[in-house]
Chain A
Amino acid sequence: AAGVIQSPRHLIKEKRETATLKCYPIPRHDTVYWYQQGPGQDPQFLISFYEKMQSDKGSIPDRFSAQQFSDYHSELNMSSLELGDSALYFCASSFRNTEAFFGQGTRLTVV
């Protein structure tokens, strides 16, 4: 069965650079979620989209933005990167308010 696809799997950026993470949800899923998992931490909700509209917002820094495109894929844009942004970023998708399925994550390292 198709799963949530995230790219890239690994990303190394320098401080103050910009990063773009991509997420391709499971086909027919209408909701996309982004989570951030710091080292040794539990995942923290960042933002979600339902049918291409932002549906909920968590503890997402102002330096971050996200959107969902017409083909339902989503991108998380992160600017002015800081060392503390180093984390595993998960995308998840769901269909009509059922449970969320997670991707493998993108490991971002800021140096």
Chain B
Amino acid sequence: AQSVTQLDSQVPVFEEAPVELRCNYSSSVSVYLFWYVQYPNQGLQLLLKYLSGSTLVKGINGFEAEFNKSQTSFHLRKPSVHISDTAEYFCAVSEGRAAGNKLTFGGGTRVLVKP
């Protein structure tokens, strides 16, 4: 069985400062990895995904993440945040055969960007 751990439940950060959201996973098979963002009262929007290839993945809104197989991590980063980045961020894994399998989510990290 797979599981996802997001190490920080809340991350306060000042505007224009960098932010890193940590995600670790465990799985007995190869996985596909995703980061989703959820704004208040909204659905889940895909930020970026790792399926294969380069371990550094660039997504929308200036976010990027790095897949580290040896550390089973997929940390999300942004060099300079905006107020509009205030949201909840979920790391998720899809096990094995395809990216279209069911997703297992981490507990979420709430990012609060302060002016």
Contact = CB atoms under 8 A, between A and B. Distances in A.
Given A99-B49, A102-B43, A104-B43, A45 B100 contact: no
A99 B33 CA distance: 10
B99 interface: yes
- Interface range, B side: 20 to 34
Contacts of A101: 46
Contacts of B42: 104-105
B90 A94 contact: no
B34 interface: yes
B109 to A, nearest CB: 10
Interface residues of A, number: 27
A42 B102 contact: no
Nearest to B51: A99
B100 A42 contact: no
Given A43-B90, A45-B104, A99 B44 contact: no
Nearest to A42: B105
Contacts of B36: 102
Interface of B: 32, 34, 36, 41-46, 49, 90, 94, 97-108
Given A48-B102, A92-B44, 8 more contacts: A4-B43, A31-B100, A44-B105, A96-B100, A97-B98, A98-B99, A99-B99, A102-B45
Interface of A: 4, 31, 33, 35, 41-45, 48, 56, 58, 90, 92, 94-105, 107
